[in-house]
Structure 1
Amino acid sequence: MMGIVMLLLTVYTLRHYVFSINRLFGHQRHPYASIVTANWPRVTIFVAAHNEEDVIQDCLENLMRVDYPADRMVIMPVNDRSSDRTREIIDAVVARFPGRITPFHRVSGKPGKAAALKDATALIDTDFIIVFDADYMPSRGLIRRLMAPFFDPEVGAVMGRVVPHNVGANLLTRLLDLERSGGYQVDQQARMNLGLVPQYGGTVGGIRISALQSVGGWHDDVLAEDTDLTYRLLLGGWLTVYHNRAECYEEVPQNWAVRMRQIKRWSKGHNQALVRHGGALLRNPALGLIERLDGFLLLGVYMMSPILLFGWVLSLLMYFTVSMQVLAPALLLIAFMAHSALGNFAAFFEIATAVHLDRSRQRIHLLAFTFMGFIVSAVAIAQSVLEQLLLDRLPGRGFHWDKTVRYRRPVASPATPIPLLSVSTEIQP
């Protein structure tokens, strides 16, 4: 058993080292970044919203100021059964920008983001969609950068980089900023560089409608519709592109309890995708061996937390029950755990690499605190796995979507425009 745990930790550790070294010294692929002017295709932009009265106005107003041609862009806020002032605020913004926004007020139907997107997709007539969450604020050039890769007919989905905008709120938001940097700046871009499996994210990503339809459309029985779609597109022969310069600004959790609930939802959705697509991925002869291995390791990242916790328990048992002659493997295991996965995708050395690439080196002082975030994430993920294996199978549990709390509050009336966020942390090539 100890050997299996050590093997898994070794594989993931080497994976993080490879990604970090690639970002520091390897060839960087930004194949569509040079497309600045073109005959841009029409696109529908979904803004997923459920009780988002505090943030929906900011998102819509920022979308009014992007540099994509207004006549080629349909903005559709997907107001999914909101019970607060979300509809009122959307309609007020619509009145200020006549002809620019086509709201979809969904008053019934199956709960969940994927179900709402499924209904909204049936209403559009464009060949492409871009999906945002309501708390996200796009940079000025974001839509153009997300649409550029679609000139390649093999591209089925595009993912941009997520940057927290409420970094200065407290220690947690600063740690999440580091985690996001490692996960996108290093992990996602390295997988793009190496021709592996970039992951489509359902908060700042684009989809080709024909690709979506070819793999069965939105599945409304999943908690992580983006991970599910990533692997259905991969198995269907479509490429997913990560664009590191397509930045969008998000609101990260400012409370540890909220963070734990968010992690648990992501973990359950990711593990659901592992069960559904892991076997088919490993057996797919159209994919290369390295691509299949990377895709499977990406699916398995949330299973590593229970394995790590199990390794800790196993190490303690060995410490008190075995002789020093056989204690060396346990000590080696502890060394590996000290450098193992942090949060979702990033590792400690990936975060340091990302800080260096972002040229914001003051943030490195927080690296010692990231172990705190790791412990919280590991406990939340392990709890989610136990719930998924035991409690979620009980009658009456069913499908449950746990909405993330918002902290931003409106600072302007509907008549007062809010300036467009345009600050970028993406400096390096």
Structure 2
Amino acid sequence: MLDPSSVAGTTLTYVLLVLVALGALPIVAMGYQFVLIPLHAFRNHYAKAAPYLPRVAVVIPAWNEGAVVGNSVDMLMRLDYPADALRVYVVDDASTDDTPDVVLAKSRQYPGQVFHLRREKGGEGKAHTLNHGLAVILEDDWMEALLIMDADVVYLPDSLRKMTRHLADEQVGAVTAYIREGSAEKNYLTRFIALEYALSQAASRRAQNVMGAVACLAGGAQLHSRANLEALGGRIDTSSLAEDTVTTFKTQLAGRKVVFEPHAVVLAEEPQSVAALWKQRLRWGRGNVHITRMYRRLWFRPQEGNRLGSIAFGLVWFGVAFQPVAMVLSSVGLVGLYLLESTTSAQVFRTIWALAACTYVFTMVMSLALDPTTARKTLREAVFFPGLVSVLITVETFFPGLVSDDVPAIFGVEVSDGALRWWTLFVYSWITLSMVGAWLIKKIDGTRAGRFVSPLLVYLVGYGPILCAITVDSYVKELRHADASWDKTEKTGRILA
């Protein structure tokens, strides 16, 4: 065993401490972001917003969306928005179900307002489908603003008005809304997703408004000024699975603002199984990996006209994109310190875990306060978002007498020194092992027993680790240059309209 007091031991100790510190960076990034949220009350775009009702063309890409697109069109027609200033274009991507019949029926029901555009060659992805619609819409000068949405989402009546008011400021190129999980009958997974959206949108995007750099226009709620679309070449980028993020970056790099409007609420149907969630988020994750590489010369290089290159935004972006790497580094550092028999291992672990726990509680309370509707339905998920195992470790962190060298017992059960050593190694490794557990949940979810076992395992391992494991999978798929075809999530029309 290497002597911790030797030169080599001291050097290794410092290296391991650096690994733990790097592992803590996502915690710092998250905490920083949420500290900014109260500033949104003072630093926002509302002072420059004004009542503004431009002529809006809505473009809906649709492939086999017969079960949902009719309801979405009906809800658009019921918006609190002038009927003569709203047109809906459904771009049918060579659907093989009843999508054409549904849209044509809506076109007859709403003459002059709903239009069916058919692509005979489909399957090229959402961006190609959108571009087919844009080519038609931009042929004349009727459209003053364009709303890109998904075929299954439902806009609340006042949502479009709340978005268009920001376009009264000519410096604003695009506006996005708050996508809220809207299934009429929720299960355990949709409640976790609802909570995630409160964290990542209602809260985090407020902070991005404050920073002056928005990471992504929600794919189902993108409102663009005509000037912004024309400046982007009148087309959506087709090189990435994250075409919405590319559009967001290009808008800001060209010097136009992107605004998140938290009070414009859009309901969306989300996956109800881990397998479906994995498929959806893998596409998102691979898109983000591609964006990170595409804009590699942008990160941490402040420049005039936009804030995407700022240190703050870079910290937030990489805090999410490389969180799994940070988790592994942290585990390696903690386990290494413990095996080195460094006296600092326990102290470092408690410090890092306490920091993570306090940051998590702060972010969760802040997010739920911003969306009381979601809060009322997801209190249990708020507790178990990181998983029951992590909750127990957190209890031990704040009450170290439950497990210690002086009192070798775990919650009252006597254990040997050897067992205590293995328990400690397990605890120090858990943030990495949890991602392995998430991968196992995905495998089990597809089995006959998965319907009953998966919910219990998700509460045990945590929803957060599942998202991190999907991110790791996206790294692997990108490194292997796996097929990157656009694979949409199946929708069944479960939205609470």
Whether the 8 Å CA contact 1:267–1:381 is kept in 2: the answer is: yes
For the 8 Å contact 1:348–1:367, the answer to whether it is kept is no
Following superposition of structure 1 onto structure 2, how do residues 260-409 of structure 1 map, counting pairs within 5 Å?
260-283=278-301, 285-287=303-305, 292-311=310-329, 313-315=331-333, 317-318=335-336, 321-325=339-343, 327-328=345-346, 331=349, 335=353, 338-339=356-357, 349-360=362-373, 361-362=375-376, 363-371=378-386, 372-392=462-482, 397=483, 399-408=484-493
Q: Which structure has the bigger radius of gyration?
A: 2
- Residue 222 of structure 2 aligns to which amino acid in structure 1? G
1:156–1:186 CA distance, 2 compared to 1 (3 A): same
Distance across 1 between alignment mates of 2:158 and 2:117:
25
Q: Distance in 2 between matches of 1:312 and 1:17?
A: 18
Deviation of 1:158 (Å): 0.4
Equivalent-residue separation in structure 2 for 1:337 and 1:81 (angstroms): 52
Q: Which moved more, 1:353-362 or 1:74-83?
A: 353-362
Higher mean displacement: 25-34 or 141-150: 25-34
Return the alpha-carbon distance in structure 2 between the equivalents of residues 5 and 113 of structure 1. 40
Q: 1:224 to 1:195 in 2, by over 3 A?
A: same
Q: Does structure 2 retain, via aligned residues, the 8 Å contact 1:164–1:251?
A: yes
Q: Residue 79 of structure 1 contacts residue 86 of structure 1 at CA under 8 Å; is this kept in 2?
A: yes
**Any residues of structure 2 matched to 1:81-230 within 5 Å, and which?**
81-108=94-121, 111-124=124-137, 125=140, 126-166=143-183, 168-197=185-214, 199-216=216-233, 217-230=235-248
Matched, 1:239 2:261: no
Q: 1:49·1:80 contact (CA, 8 Å) conserved in 2?
A: yes
Q: TM-score, normalised by structure 2?
A: 0.73
Contact 2:16–2:334, Cα closer than 8 Å, also in 1: no
C-alpha distance after superposition, 1:227-279 (max 9, x if no partner):
11111112111110111111111111111111111111111001111111131
Offset from partner CA, 1:200-232 (integer Å, 9 cap, x none):
222112112322332443111210111111111
Aligned-residue RMSD, C-alpha: 2.9
Fraction of identical pairs, as percent: 23
AA of the residue aligned to 1:266: W
Report the equivalent of 1:413.
none
Aligned AA (1:382): V
Q: Is the 8 A contact 1:48 1:80 kept in 2?
A: yes
- Count of residue pairs the alignment pairs up: 401
384 and 199 in structure 1: CA distance in 2 versus 1, 3 angstrom threshold: closer
Q: CA deviation at 1:163?
A: 1.0
3-state SS in 2 of match to 1:47: strand
Structure 1: 5+ residue stretches without partners: 342-346, 411-419, 422-429
* Counterparts in 2 of 1:109 and 1:20: CA distance versus 1, 3 Å: same
104-113 or 190-199, which deviates more:
190-199
Separation in 2, partners of 1:212, 1:7: 43
Q: 1:27 aligns with which of 26, 31, 41?
A: 41
Distance 2:358 2:326 in 1: 8
Distance 1:213 1:288, change over 3 A: closer
Bigger proportion of residues as helix: 2
Contact 1:54-1:409 within 8 A present in 2 as well: no
* 1:36 Cα deviation after fit: 6.8
What is the CA deviation profile of residues 109-167 of structure 1, one whole-angstrom value per residue up to 9, with x for unaligned ones? Answer: 56111111122111113232101111100111122112111111111110111111117
In the alignment, which residue of structure 1 is the partner of 2:451? none
